[in-house]
Structure 1
Amino acid sequence: MRKYKNFKEIDRDLKLLKLQQEIDKEMALLSYNRTKESLSPKRILKSAAGSIFKNALILKGTTKVLGFIGDKFR
């Protein structure tokens, strides 16, 4: 536990704690808003469509590579 020598030190620490509380409150609000935005239907559909497209490209590339390798062993 900290021991204070005068009221000025107490006031300073109280101001710092109040500022830290305001910062923490704003950080929580920012985190909430980012989470809310990332879970919006538009964002989810966009992400899903991107994943499907990416997987389709990977599957197509893998099929070509495997077909090429299969042709070498025939």
Structure 2
Amino acid sequence: MREYKNFKEIERDLKLLKLQKEIDKEMILLSYNQTKESLSPKRILKSAAGSIFKNALILKGATTILGYIGDKWK
């Protein structure tokens, strides 16, 4: 526990705590808005479509490579 020597120190710490409280509140609001945006249907569909496209490209590339290797072994 901190011991204060005068009221000026107490007032300074109270101001700091008030500012920290405002910063924390803004951080929570920012985090909430980012989460809300990331869970929007548009964002979810865009992310899913990107994943499907990426996986399709990987599968096509793997199939091509494996087919090429399979032809070499014949």
Instruction: Indicate the TM-score class for this superposition, using the shorter chain for normalisation.
Output: over 0.9
Structure 1 stretches of at least 4 aligned residues deviating more than 4 Å after TM superposition: none
Name the structure 2 match of 1:70.
Answer: 70
For 2:16, the equivalent position in structure 1 comes to 16
Residue-by-residue CA offset, 1:9-49 (whole Å, 9 max, x unaligned): 00000000000000000000000000000000000000000
In the alignment, structure 1 segments of 5+ residues that lack a partner are none
Corresponding residue of 1:41 = 41
**DSSP-derived class of the 1:4 partner:** coil
Q: How many pairs were matched up? A: 74
**Residue 29 of structure 1 corresponds to which residue in structure 2?**
29
TM-score normalised according to structure 1 size? 0.99
Output the TM-score relative to the length of structure 2: 0.99
Show structure 2 runs of 5+ residues with no match: none
Which residue in 2 is equivalent to 1:58? 58
**Alignment identity in percent?**
85
Measure the CA separation in 2 of the matches of 1:12 and 1:72: 78
SS in 1 for 2:46: helix
Q: Over the residues paired in the alignment, what is the CA RMSD in angstroms?
A: 0.4
| 3-state secondary structure, aligned to 2:2 | coil
